[in-house]
Structure formats: C-alpha cells, structure tokens
Chains A and B, each alone.
Chain A
Amino acid sequence: MIHDKKAHKYGMVIDLDKCTGCGTCAVSCMSENNVPFKEDESDKKDSITWMRVYRLTNGRPFPDTEVVYMPRPCQHCGGKGDHGHSPCVSVCPATATDYGYDTGIVSQIYTRCFGCRYCMAACPYHARYFNWWDPVWPEGMEKYLSPNVSPRMRGVVEKCSFCYHRYQLAREKAYVNGSGEVPEEDYQTACTTACPAGAIVFGDLNNPSHKVHQIVKPDPHPDPLNPDVVGKSRNPRVFRLLERLGTNPKVYYMSEREWVRKMGDHYLDGEWDKVKNVYGSASHE
C-alpha cells in the first residue's frame, strides 16, 4: 500500500575526507540488521559485512603516503540507463532481489533466495554476502535481536537494504500523520545516523530540498560520453565507483583529493586526464 505516489531515489554521498575509518557505520549496521558473527571473522570473503570499510592508499613511499577509508554499502544500482536493471536483479532466477521503482532500493527477500549466488557473481562491488553457515548467537545474546529485520538462515544471500525497515516505519508514520510524505530526517539509515564524523549524507536524490541532492547535484540527462550513465554528479568532487560500467549506483563518494577520485574506476594510461574534468552533461551546464 503505497500512499506516496512520488518516485523517490534514495541514495547517499559519503565524504571520504571526513571518514575516519573508525568502523562505527559497520557496527551500527550489524546491530541494526541482526548481522551475525562467528568465531573467526578474519577471512573477509565469508565475513558478512553489509557495510565494509576499505582502506585505500596512494601507493607512494614514505613520507608521501596518504591513506583514505572508503565505506561501501550496497550501491543500489539503477542499472543501464537507470531503468532498474541492476546487475544482481537481472540475473536472479528467483526474483529474490528486485528493484523498487518507488524508492530506487534494491531489495533482498531471504525466504525466496535459494542460494545460487548468481547475484554475487554479477555484483561489481562485492556488496553481497552468502550465509555459508546458520547464524549462531552465544547463549542469551539473541535477546538483543531486533524484530524489524529477520535473521537469515544458511544458504541465502544478504546485503545492505538501505535500512528499508526504517523506510517502512517512516512511511507508516507519515501515513498516520496524514502528511503522506516522508520527511528527510524520518528516514535515515543506521550507518548515516551513527557516523560520528557526519561523513554520510542520506536522502532522496530526486528531491532538490534534500541535502544529498544539493551535494550531488545529479544530472538528469544521460552522460554524453556514455548514454548508459545517468545521474552523474555535477559536483567536481563527487564520483561513483566504476561509474563507466553504467550500473548507476546511488551511492556517491566525495573527495578533494584527485588520487582518491581516480581510484573510483580503472583507467588506462591517459584516460583519466580526458575524463577528470567532465561533470555531467554539457547540455545542462
């Protein structure tokens, strides 16, 4: 029952210059979404972290070394041309993952998933995780589990949902209030509210009054260099990961450092210099 008929496009922008790499977003996410843990979590390939914080370095020797941390939730791709054909959604044989045209959020329905892991292979961002084991909490610890997110079982894939249950609660609240519209502050993901540095800004990319829209300034026109790319930022400091693939992620990153922005994609020699100053379509400037 969607009372709010507007098409939203929820997304976030993460300021990598503010990110301290403290890991609070990751733990807030685990706590909010009943993410389990096991005895050894040091094999990061099977460690379920919807929000993972990567460490990037500029690769220069001492003392010119620089380090930046990059939190990576699910990118909630809109797919080519932003038509909702996200890489994972396109390959799911069970419709266990789907694109919400009303929110732009890529869902994951655990009970539908039968664990083929095609979506994991399709995801260019390693944002999806497979439950190789049933979750086990130490005795008594399951008392802190939240009823808003069902714990997953062995054999299914899980990933960041942009805290969709928070959207549901906010939407119900808006309905009860009679306003119909979800205010910006009522729907914020657990990582956003937790970040002590305020590095994450979350909101509706379609709504010009939302902070995320004002920072990202998404270009409504396709990129003239690559028509698959829509919503490219017109802010010269903002970029997306592997943007030229045309996956159209709704997670944007921001940095003043050029080497960080360059790390957002793989560039051949000389390629970066050609594209680094192209921000959105010229037609709209």
Chain B
Amino acid sequence: MKVDRRSFLGLGIGAVAGIAVSPVGAKLTDDFSIWTQNWPWTPVPPDGEISYDRSVCNLCPGTCGITVRKIDGRPVKIEGLDTYPVNDGGVCLHGIAGLQYLYDPSRVKTPLKKVNQRFVPISWDEALAMVTGRLKQLQEDQNPEALACITGSGQGSVPGLFNHFMAAFGSPNCLTMPDLESWLVLTATTLHGPKQTLGFDIDHSDHILSFGAGLIDGWGSPVACIQAVAGRKQREATLVQIEPRLSNTAAGADRWIPINPGTEADLAMGMCGFLLKENLFDPVFAQGFKGGFMRFTAMVQKEYPLDKVAAVTGVSAADIQKTATAFAKAKMPVALPGKGRGEGAQSLKEFAAVHTLNCLTGNINKKGGAFVKPLPDYLSFPDPVLDDVAQKGAAAEPLAASAQALVARIDQSDQSPVEVLFVYNANPCFALNDPSRVAAAFEKIPFKVCVSPFMDETAMASDVILPVSTFLEQMEDVPSRGGLAASVVGLARPMVKPVFDTRSPGDVVIAVAGSLGGGVAQSFPWKNYEDCLKQVAGKIWNPLTRKGHVIVSGRPPAGSVETDFGFLAENPDTLKPAGDQEFTLIPIDNFRVPPTVPAPSPFAIKTVSDRILKGTDMFVEINPQSANHLKDGGFATLTTPAGSVRVRVHFNDGIMPGVIGMVKGLGHTLNNRYVSGKGVNINALISPTIEPGSGMDAAYGIRAGISKA
C-alpha cells in the first residue's frame, strides 16, 4: 500500500481522533492515579459518632481535669476540662499524650514471673498465689516487718490501700518516693505539727519569691502554676526567681537572682535574720511563735550576717536586703521552696527556712499567702484487725525514714532486712540517686513484686510483675497535692476497657489480702476496689460521682497557726555537694521530660530540643565563660564521684559560670525504643547524702569535672 500525503494525514487525524475519543487513555490515567495513591499500609482511622467523656489525669501531682474525645467509644484526643477547679481547661503535653501510654510498647500485657533472668507470662491466679505464698511464709516466720512497700504518692485510696495492707500485715515499712508533697508535709510537720501540709495561693499573691521553684517548669500542679504565672501581669504581681540557672521560670520572671547551687537555705536564713533585725515581721502572727523563736532569732543574726550569707550564696548583701525588704513590704507575699519540680532530693532545712519567711510576714492562711492546711481526710479506712504476729511486727522500729535510706540500708547489709518488697507506681531503680546501688540493693531482696503498668527499670529488677491499668482504664480517686491552695478530689473514671490483661491496683491489693486470710482478710471486707472506694470515700462519694470532683477546702484554712522553731534554732548544717572538683553538676527539670513515673511518651521525647538530646547523645549546659578549652557542641567527659559519662557540650549564657546543668529524666533503659537508650540518667552521677534532720536524700547536685573527650 502506498502511503501518500492524503492517507498519511487521514491516518494521523484518525489516530488522534481515536485516541482522543477512546476511553483507554482516560482509563489508564485513572488507573495510574488510583494505583499511585494506593497506600494500604497507611492506616485509615475508622469514623464514627463523636462523644466526650470526662475524667482526671493522674500522671503527675497536677491532677488536672480532662475531657476525652471518642469516636464510637474509641478515645482519640485528650484535652483540658473547662471549669475544673485545678486547671480550668488547661492541660499539659503529658496529659495530652496520655493515649500513647495506653498502647505504650513497654506496657506489661499479662502477669510475669522471672525465671533464670527472663520473664515468663503466667496467669493472674498463679501470680497472686506466688505473692501470697511468700507473705504467708513471712507470717509463719513471725517476721511481718520484713515486708516493705514503696509507693509513688502517699495520698488517695490506692496508696491508702497499700498503707492499710501494710498496717494489717504488721509492717511499719511503708515509704513513698520523695515528691513535692512529701517535702511539704515534712515541712508542715516540723514547723506546725503533724497531719498538715502546705499550700500556696500563688493565684492571688502580689509578690512571689521563688527559691528555685520552677513554676512554669513543672513545679507543683504544673498547669495551675502556669496559669497563675500567666495571669501575673494582669494583677501586677511580681515574680522573683532565685536559682543558679536561667530556667524558663527565671526567664519569665520580673527578676532573676543567680545563686550558688545548694545555698538557697542560707539565703533564706540570711533574709530571716535581716527581717528580724529590721523589725520587718508581723508581730501579731508572731504571737503564735513558740519552741525557740528567741533562740532562732539570736541564732540567725549571729550565724547568718548578710556579708557572710553574701559570700556563701554569691548574692550581694545589697541584693539580699532589697529582695527581703520588697518581700516583707508586699501586701500578699509568698515564698516558695522546692527547686525545679520540687521532687527528688531537696532539703528540709531549705523548705523550713523558706517557709519561715512566710511565717515572718504573717501571710499565713490569708489570701495570696501560704496555707497551713490539714491533710485531706475524706477517706476513712476501718481499723486494721491485727493478730499477735502482726501486732509484734507493727511495733517494730521502721527500717528507714525514706526510700533512699531504706535502699542504702539494704545495700550495706549482708542479708537484706527486707524479704519481700512491693513497689507501686514508683520507679526507684531509675529515680533515686545512684540507681546502680538501688539495683544492687534490689538484688539482695529475695522477692520483689512490682505493681506497674509498664516494664520500667524497677519492673525489670523484680521477680513478679502484676500489670495494672493506666489512669484511662480504671476508676480511682485523685486528690490534688503539690502545693495547691485548694484541696480538690477528682474521680478518674475508665475511659476505655483495659487494653491488656490488667487489673486495677486496688483490686490487686484486695485480692492479695483476701487470699492471706486471718486478720488481714478481715481488714479488707470489700468485694472489689469499686466497692471499697464507695465505702471509704463515703463522705464525699455522692457529689464525687455526680460532679466528678469535690472541693474539700477552697478558702484559706481557719484557726490560728502555731509555729515551732525548734528544728531551725538548732541551725542544722546545709549539705554541700559531695566531692571537690571544679564544677557543680545540677539537675535541670525540663517541662517536656517527666522525671519519674511514667517514663516520657514518644510525643514528649519528640519535643525535646536537639540541644538536650541528639541521637543518643546527651548535652550538658555550661557557661562559655567557664568552658575553657571545651567547644560548643563538642564531646566531653563528665566525671563525678559517682561515675563518668561521655556527653556533648551546650554553651548557655544563662547558667552560672562554674555550674554544669543536665536534664533529669532521660537515659531510660526500659523496653520502648522511642524513649530508651537516649541520653544519660543524671541520677547515676549523683551519690545520695541523707540529711540528718529529715532522713531524706538531700543531695541536690554534686561536684564534677569536665574535660574534652
């Protein structure tokens, strides 16, 4: 066939027309676009009806009200609950990330026992039988005091059940991890008598003098504190921040006064001396002073003259005068103790000295001041039924005054005085100072039971793990704590059915007690935890279930307050950081990194700055003025009496020369690759120092050396 011009054009036009009209092209394009947009591995979240449910967050002492958005009953988002008396709609990153904890890779999915250093899944019956077997053995040996228990917080009905169990079993060795609340209770007990705690009306104060309290770095009830600080400008309140490093709180304060680390107590004592000397204290309130007020006055004026205090603290005498005067002359001043978050190693001397400033101004139990309030007593447990063995055990001398002291005692003894240890909602193997010694002490305890939702460092060191539900899967009363002015009890309710084979910790205690029989079982007359809560919280149960929370005390507590100066009048020593090297290493409390339980969520770790964590490397902060030959971003070796680690250096002009800062709460070794193996646990670099007056660890920081690696 001859192809002439005519047929060529005809064919050409025909082909073009054919292609244009044919559906093949369109079909191919369509198929192509569908094919390239097929991502079957990308999840398509199922849609459904939206509903909102309310509960209370129990991740930290903040106790914020939360609302949970659900799609067909599946929680998808946590937000702050409007009008909740603690947080009024506010929320923090850890609360929002709460859903991640539900499905956290490190969750314990079923009871486990350790066999040849490996965990083997077992049934709940077997696990509980193992625990009761051990406890029965202690009873038979007439040695119930060899049972010890460490819980995270001391308040609420679940820690209450653990306490009740220990009392009924006959052991005085029930301890809590040192959090802000425990220091506040200790301070209130020392200065004002037992069964009391302190709250601070930061919301209304017009002059906040903070001795390192990280008001926007996670101190106390974090969201409430952030809100109080945010509203400060409007009500023209002053915030003066005293600490060695320009924390976020210091950066947002009206005035930042750098101070040599660990000398806050001396500064507060010096201020007390100055106020007493200048007659700048409230004579009316001082009528309630007893127990050595005169001795205290004489002592602070003799031992803490301004020039001496200035030399120790690094704050000039003129600054001390100015700060103390402004504080005393303010209408509603409040002084806040508790460095950083106020948890972990602090010092009773410091808490007492700072709170004495509150006492001197007389702004106690008044608007905008410090509240000396009774511990919440909305729970009424029945009296435990004690048999002879339990009675003998209960009368025994407690082994230690704090978890750190208990661990040290076990570590130093050949045979552990503790034979069975319960740990609930605490991670001592990570959070106490010198965790390698804690682990060594754990090795010596024959039987450790960890009651925890997560396979954390302490769970890994235990013999039996009883997996419990997270705060989103169970009911629990959540009392506010950590320096809040108001006392609020919230009710956390299950937002979702337990994801794994977990139980409520209250049910675990009740089950163990029931199977022990005898007096212990009689002391636990409840079917289950819900039944128990209904009865022990009977006083407030109806409003609690109806409203979701109850304000136990909102207004300043009434009645006169007596103040006992006996403890401070003896002028207890200020503990100095151990060691003799050039620098002082201090822990930094960073809002985005929770320091204890639970470990950070993947979202929280994601927000951590690349000047804190880079890959798995940890940064330490140092002032360029004292960095000598170190390079910004370079590697260095950090050495303290407790250990040595490789770190990277971050130059920060906002830290005092001579001080090295390291963020606390990193360096986990638990089974969660998003969180573990990142950075260094600063606790491993600090050896504990027990403060004689409190029996608690008061080693805030340690001397350290740093050199180019």
A65 touches B233 (CB 8 A): no
Which residues of chain A come closer than 8 Å to B96, judged between CB atoms?
24, 27-28, 31, 194
- Total interface residues in chain A, CB < 8 Å: 64
**Chain A proximity of B658: nearest CB distance (Å):** 11
The reply to whether the CB of A39 lies closer than 8 angstroms to some CB of chain B is yes
> Which chain A residues in 96-149 approach chain B with CB under 8 Å?
111, 134-135, 137-147
The reply to whether the CB of A152 lies closer than 8 angstroms to some CB of chain B is yes
B227 touches A197 (CB 8 A): yes
Which residues of chain B come closer than 8 Å to A26, judged between CB atoms?
93, 606-607
Indicate which residue in B105, B227, B258 contacts A198 across the interface (CB closer than 8 Å).
B227
Segment of A40-48, A73-81, A218-226 engaged in the interface with chain B? A40-48
B93 touches A18 (CB 8 A): no
State A38–B673 Cα separation when bound (angstroms). Answer: 9
> Which chain B residues in 222-279 approach chain A with CB under 8 Å?
222-223, 226-227, 229-230, 233, 246, 248, 251-252, 256, 258
A196 touches B87 (CB 8 A): yes
Question: Which residue among A26, A43, A55 has the maximum number of chain B CB atoms within 10 Å of its CB?
Answer: A26
**Chain A proximity of B677: nearest CB distance (Å):** 10
A42 touches B615 (CB 8 A): yes
A55 touches B609 (CB 8 A): yes
Query: Residue-by-residue, is A57-75 near B (CB-CB < 8 Å gives 1, otherwise 0)?
Result: 1011111011111000000
B653 touches A197 (CB 8 A): no
A31 touches B97 (CB 8 A): yes
Indicate which residue in A34, A65, A195 contacts B653 across the interface (CB closer than 8 Å).
A65
Which residues of chain B come closer than 8 Å to A63, judged between CB atoms?
256, 258, 656
The reply to whether the CB of B149 lies closer than 8 angstroms to some CB of chain A is no
Instruction: Using CB atoms, name the residue of chain B closest to A32.
Output: B77
Which residues of chain A come closer than 8 Å to B46, judged between CB atoms?
147
A37 touches B606 (CB 8 A): yes
A151 touches B606 (CB 8 A): no
Segment of B173-181, B290-298, B567-575, B597-605 engaged in the interface with chain A? B597-605
State A57–B104 Cα separation when bound (angstroms). Answer: 36
A144 touches B102 (CB 8 A): yes
Instruction: Using CB atoms, name the residue of chain B closest to A30.
Output: B603
State A18–B41 Cα separation when bound (angstroms). Answer: 42
Main secondary structure of the interface of A (DSSP, over half): loop
The reply to whether the CB of A275 lies closer than 8 angstroms to some CB of chain B is no
Main secondary structure of the interface of B (DSSP, over half): loop
The reply to whether the CB of A150 lies closer than 8 angstroms to some CB of chain B is yes
Segment of B68-76, B355-363, B390-398 engaged in the interface with chain A? B68-76
Question: Which residue among A141, A151, A190 has the maximum number of chain B CB atoms within 10 Å of its CB?
Answer: A141
A42 touches B610 (CB 8 A): yes
The reply to whether the CB of A182 lies closer than 8 angstroms to some CB of chain B is no
Which residues of chain A come closer than 8 Å to B248, judged between CB atoms?
20-22, 67, 69
The reply to whether the CB of B414 lies closer than 8 angstroms to some CB of chain A is no
The reply to whether the CB of B116 lies closer than 8 angstroms to some CB of chain A is no
B41 touches A134 (CB 8 A): yes
B99 touches A62 (CB 8 A): no
Which residues of chain A come closer than 8 Å to B77, judged between CB atoms?
31-32, 146, 190
| With A23-B592, A43-B610 as contacts: A150 and B226 at CB distance below 8 Å | no
Indicate which residue in B43, B47, B624 contacts A137 across the interface (CB closer than 8 Å).
B43
The reply to whether the CB of A193 lies closer than 8 angstroms to some CB of chain B is yes
B226 touches A145 (CB 8 A): no
Indicate which residue in A27, A65, A69, A194 contacts B246 across the interface (CB closer than 8 Å).
A65
**Chain A proximity of B417: nearest CB distance (Å):** 41
Which residues of chain A come closer than 8 Å to B69, judged between CB atoms?
146
Instruction: Using CB atoms, name the residue of chain B closest to A149.
Output: B45
| With A55-B609, A146-B71, A147-B48 as contacts: A18 and B43 at CB distance below 8 Å | no
The reply to whether the CB of B37 lies closer than 8 angstroms to some CB of chain A is yes
**Chain B proximity of A30: nearest CB distance (Å):** 5
The reply to whether the CB of B654 lies closer than 8 angstroms to some CB of chain A is yes
State A111–B38 Cα separation when bound (angstroms). Answer: 10
The reply to whether the CB of B122 lies closer than 8 angstroms to some CB of chain A is no
B71 touches A68 (CB 8 A): no
Question: Which residue among A44, A67, A153, A198 has the maximum number of chain B CB atoms within 10 Å of its CB?
Answer: A67
Which residues of chain A come closer than 8 Å to B678, judged between CB atoms?
42
**Chain B proximity of A34: nearest CB distance (Å):** 7
The reply to whether the CB of B623 lies closer than 8 angstroms to some CB of chain A is yes
**Chain A proximity of B521: nearest CB distance (Å):** 37
B42 touches A42 (CB 8 A): no
Which residues of chain A come closer than 8 Å to B74, judged between CB atoms?
143-144
B230 touches A199 (CB 8 A): yes
| With A20-B226, A39-B673 as contacts: A145 and B76 at CB distance below 8 Å | yes
State A99–B44 Cα separation when bound (angstroms). Answer: 26
State A195–B91 Cα separation when bound (angstroms). Answer: 7
Which residues of chain B come closer than 8 Å to A134, judged between CB atoms?
39, 41-42
Instruction: Using CB atoms, name the residue of chain A closest to B613.
Output: A42
| With A67-B246, A134-B41, A196-B91 as contacts: A31 and B603 at CB distance below 8 Å | yes
Which residues of chain B come closer than 8 Å to A111, judged between CB atoms?
37
Residues of B near any A CB (own CB < 8 A)? 37, 39, 41-48, 69, 71, 74-80, 87, 89-93, 96-97, 99-100, 102-105, 216, 222-223, 226-227, 229-230, 233, 246, 248, 251-252, 256, 258, 499, 591-592, 602-611, 613-615, 623-625, 652-657, 673-674, 678
**With contacts A27-B607, A28-B93 known, what are 12 further pairs, Cβ within 8 A?**
A20-B216, A26-B606, A27-B93, A31-B603, A42-B614, A134-B39, A134-B41, A135-B42, A145-B43, A145-B45, A146-B45, A196-B227
